[in-house]
Amino acid sequence: MQPSARTAFDYKPQNSRSPNHARWFISGLLLPLIGGIVAYTVATQDDSIGTPRQAISLDTLPPIPMEQVTIPAAMPPSLLGDTVEYVVRRNDTMDRIFRQLKLNLTDLATIRDVPSVQASLDQLRVGDIITLVHDEGLVQSLTRRISETEILSVTRVNEGFKSEVIETPLDIQEVQAEGTIDSSLFVAARAAGISPELILQLANDIFGWEIDFALDIQPGDKFNLVYEQKYRDGKFIGNGRILAADFINNGTLHRAVWFESKDGQVADYFAPDGRSMRRAFLRAPLEFTRISSNFNPKRRHPILNTIRAHKGVDYAASTGTVIKAAGDGRVAFVGTKGGYGRVVVLEHGGGVETLYGHMSRFSGIRKGQRVRQGTTIGFVGSSGAATGPHLHYEYLVNGVHKNPRTVRLPDAAPISDGYRAEFLARSGLMFAKLDRGGAATVASALPR
Ligand SMILES: [Zn+2]
């Protein structure tokens, strides 16, 4: 959270949104499936799967508009010369840019020598805009954004250059949006005006311990979010954090709120009762971004029968999808083993082991190594007895297979007593915003 950020009152979203019921109706029209979630558990031993499904790729979704650098309005009058706005390209360096623009290289050296300038000057990212004012190649000023809230400004003075960092605070506005899933979470999100990045936050950072976004999402599921939008000088520059979220999955309400304590010691998502949303095991040990995902909304849920002869859960996903450690643990096995193909086994303590089969390759982990929850351990493939790319996932307790989709996981830790009162007071306000719904009513500020 930016210290300078403020919350807007009376926010009206820029892109017009239809009323809620109309939005739900629109999302209902978005069948032909662009991509839903497919779930299946193979009930045979041969691990064969059907036709590969179409994978959702975030690359095909519209990009977030590139931000424009706003040059500080008050340029000192002494700075006469030509203005060049240079957009940084791949492999650019300041030297290369100066040579290309035929600017004085001694000036660059002098500018670099200005205390605290070099680090922020030389870190170039593609698309950055550097504004240079020069007089016959002699640099009069150099301006570039160095963070979301700061611009570096270097100007010529008598014997050299001086630099200053200009603060350009963001307006943080709170927006509420909701939708119902018909064909896929991403399609419903788009219909609700929510970016794919926010959906990934929802799936990976908030509900990834409670909901298996690969297998559990189904038609009729609903979401409701209050999230931040960042504006500078009235221009939308991107989304911020989700502040509160509801997800109704198969009729069960899951809710979470972002809580950052005033002293900064606590910053995470919590359930309304103050339990952390994090748990010892992820529901689905796959990166959500690339899970191949289609479901047929006419057929309710593709699997409700879970494990039969099969001792694990299969996640259809395209080859190369990141496989994550479901929980903290130690690598007990990494190698090739019969029908499993390339397989990793993790030991988690308490007699729990998890197994990940049919990988295309490993991530470079070694036997005996400790891994944290979420660490990439390998990539989806079809090695071993698999007829199509998928992850075969097993969860064992003291050597006995459990259904990872239904096994009872240890309870999450509650927020510590010292923060409980503060948490309850502030989360209550946030949940009230979720419950009211509708962007127009999200007007009151959360105390920060
Ligand atoms: Zn399997």
In angstroms and rounded to an integer, the radius of gyration of the C-alpha atoms of the chain is 26
Span 116-144, pLDDT tens digits? 787 788 888 999 999 999 999 999 999 99
Q: 149 alpha carbon to ligand 1 midpoint, in Å?
A: 49
Q: Is 66 a residue whose pLDDT tops 90?
A: no
Predicted pLDDT of residue 408: 83
Q: 311 alpha carbon to ligand 1 midpoint, in Å?
A: 7
Predicted pLDDT of residue 100: 93
- The CATH number of 290-402 is 2.70.70.10
Q: 355 alpha carbon to ligand 1 midpoint, in Å?
A: 11
Q: 38 alpha carbon to ligand 1 midpoint, in Å?
A: 15
Q: Is 37 a residue whose pLDDT tops 80?
A: no
Among the ranges 49-63, 208-222, 280-294, 319-333, which has the highest mean pLDDT value? 319-333
Q: 201 alpha carbon to ligand 1 midpoint, in Å?
A: 28
Between 316 and 332, residue with greater pLDDT = 332
Is beta strand 150-157 parallel, antiparallel or unpaired with respect to 267-270?
Answer: unpaired
Q: 39 alpha carbon to ligand 1 midpoint, in Å?
A: 12
Between 230 and 51, residue with greater pLDDT = 230
Predicted pLDDT of residue 5: 33
Report the Cα 408 to chain-centroid distance in Å.
27
Q: 391 alpha carbon to ligand 1 midpoint, in Å?
A: 7
Least confident of 233-237, 321-325, 344-348: 233-237
Mean pLDDT value across residues 62-70: 42
Between 287 and 359, residue with greater pLDDT = 359
Q: Is 306 a residue whose pLDDT tops 80?
A: no
The model's pTM: 0.67
Between 78 and 399, residue with greater pLDDT = 399
Q: 392 alpha carbon to ligand 1 midpoint, in Å?
A: 4
The 3-state secondary structure of the chain, one letter per residue: CCCCCEECCCCCCCCCCCCHHHHHHHHHCCCCCCCCCCCECCCCCCCCCCCCCCECCHHHCCCCCCCCCCCCCCCCCCCCCEEEEEECCCCCCHHHHHHHCCCCHHHHHHHHHCCCHHHHHHCCCCCCEEEEEEECCEEEEEEEEEECCEEEEEEEECCEEEEEEEECCCEEEEEEEEEECCCCHHHHHHHCCCCHHHHHHHHHHHCCCCCCCCCCCCCCCEEEEEEEEEEECCEEEEEEEEEEEEEEECCEEEEEEEEECCCCCCEEEECCCCEECCCCCCCCCECHHHCECCCCCCCCCCCCCCCCCCCCEEEECCCCCEEECCCCEEEEEEEEEHHHEEEEEEECCCCEEEEEEEEEEECCCCCCCEECCCCEEEEEECCCCCCCCEEEEEEEECCEEECCCCCCCCCCCECCHHHHHHHHHHHHHHHHHHHHCCHHHCCCCCCC
Domain boundary assignment for the chain: 6-35+171-284+412-441, 82-167, 290-402
Between 411 and 428, residue with greater pLDDT = 428
Q: 248 alpha carbon to ligand 1 midpoint, in Å?
A: 28
- Give residue 445's pLDDT band: very low, low, confident or very high (50, 70, 90): very low
Mean pLDDT value across residues 224-241: 93
**Residue 89, both tokens:** 């390209």
Q: 314 alpha carbon to ligand 1 midpoint, in Å?
A: 5
Q: Is 300 a residue whose pLDDT tops 70?
A: no
CB of 356 within 8 A of CB of 310? no
Predicted pLDDT of residue 56: 35
pLDDT above 90 coverage of the chain, percent: 52
Task: Tell which residue, 418, 430, 413, has the closest CA to residue 256.
Answer: 430
Q: 222 alpha carbon to ligand 1 midpoint, in Å?
A: 30
Q: 43 alpha carbon to ligand 1 midpoint, in Å?
A: 9
| 290-402 has the same fold as 82-167 | no
Q: Is 428 a residue whose pLDDT tops 60?
A: yes
What's the order of all strands across the beta sheet hosting 160-167? 82-87, 129-135, 138-147, 150-157, 160-167
Q: 35 alpha carbon to ligand 1 midpoint, in Å?
A: 22
Q: 60 alpha carbon to ligand 1 midpoint, in Å?
A: 30
Q: 339 alpha carbon to ligand 1 midpoint, in Å?
A: 10
Q: Is 28 a residue whose pLDDT tops 70?
A: no
Q: 44 alpha carbon to ligand 1 midpoint, in Å?
A: 9
Q: 310 alpha carbon to ligand 1 midpoint, in Å?
A: 7
Q: 289 alpha carbon to ligand 1 midpoint, in Å?
A: 21
Q: Is 41 a residue whose pLDDT tops 80?
A: no
Q: Is 201 a residue whose pLDDT tops 80?
A: yes
Q: Is 285 a residue whose pLDDT tops 90?
A: yes
Q: 364 alpha carbon to ligand 1 midpoint, in Å?
A: 23
Between 66 and 88, residue with greater pLDDT = 88
Predicted pLDDT of residue 236: 93
Domain 6-35+171-284+412-441 has CATH 3.10.450.350: yes
Span 258-273, pLDDT tens digits? 999 999 999 999 999 9
Q: Is 242 a residue whose pLDDT tops 50?
A: yes
User: Could you give the angle at the alpha carbon of 281 between the alpha carbons of 309 and 228, nearest 5°?
Assistant: 125
Predicted pLDDT of residue 143: 94
Q: 403 alpha carbon to ligand 1 midpoint, in Å?
A: 12
Mean pLDDT value across residues 76-99: 84
The per-residue pLDDT of the chain, averaged, comes to 78
**Residue 360, both tokens:** 């295309």
Q: Is 413 a residue whose pLDDT tops 90?
A: no
**Residue 86, both tokens:** 């240079």
- Give residue 74's pLDDT band: very low, low, confident or very high (50, 70, 90): very low
Q: 384 alpha carbon to ligand 1 midpoint, in Å?
A: 11
Q: 302 alpha carbon to ligand 1 midpoint, in Å?
A: 16
**Environment of ion ligand 1 (residues, CB < 5 A):** 47, 312, 314, 392
Mean pLDDT value across residues 374-394: 91
Predicted pLDDT of residue 417: 94
Q: 59 alpha carbon to ligand 1 midpoint, in Å?
A: 29
Q: 388 alpha carbon to ligand 1 midpoint, in Å?
A: 11
Predicted pLDDT of residue 289: 64
- What separation in angstroms does the CA of 140 have from each of 108, 120, 134? 11, 18, 5
- The CATH number of 82-167 is 3.10.450.350
238 in the Ramachandran plot: left (φ > 0), alpha (ψ -120 to 50) or beta? Answer: left
Strand partners, 347: 330, 353
